Amino acid sequence: MIENFRDHAANERTYLAWVRTAVALMAFGFVIEKFDLFLRYLGEARGFAGIRVQGTHAVGVGIALMAVGLTMNLLATWGYVRNRKLIDTPEKQGLGSALPNLALAAIVAALGIFLITYVGTELFN
């Protein structure tokens, strides 16, 4: 049996949850960016007056979500490797800083607020 197996398994489950969330953010950013591109092409091809062709805010938010997802994946990998080493050390360790997690949460929240505002203004204009 692996020593501290439960701790290692919990560390791995947490890591996989972070990776799953990061992949979802990157996929969501890709969908936002491509859907905006689709709407712009559709507007140009059909000459729809309701679709603004010059807007690029959704593209920026899509790319930002992909970058945040990549950053989240890198930080999750770093935390997984760090915790894996700390589980097997005999001496007690501190928790460490929660600042990277809080910063990522704040960035995702800001992007979400921007998307809600952007979609709301596009729908009601």
Q: Which residues of the chain have pLDDT under 70?
A: 37-56, 122-123, 125
Least Cα distance to 79 among 102, 66, 64, 98 occurs for 98
Confidence at residue 99, expressed as pLDDT on a 0 to 100 scale? 86
**What's the CA dihedral at 106, 108, 110, 112 to 10 degrees?**
-150
Confidence at residue 62, expressed as pLDDT on a 0 to 100 scale? 85
How do the domains of the chain map onto residue ranges?
Answer: 5-123
Confidence at residue 74, expressed as pLDDT on a 0 to 100 scale? 93
- Rg of the chain over Cα atoms, rounded to whole angstroms, equals 20
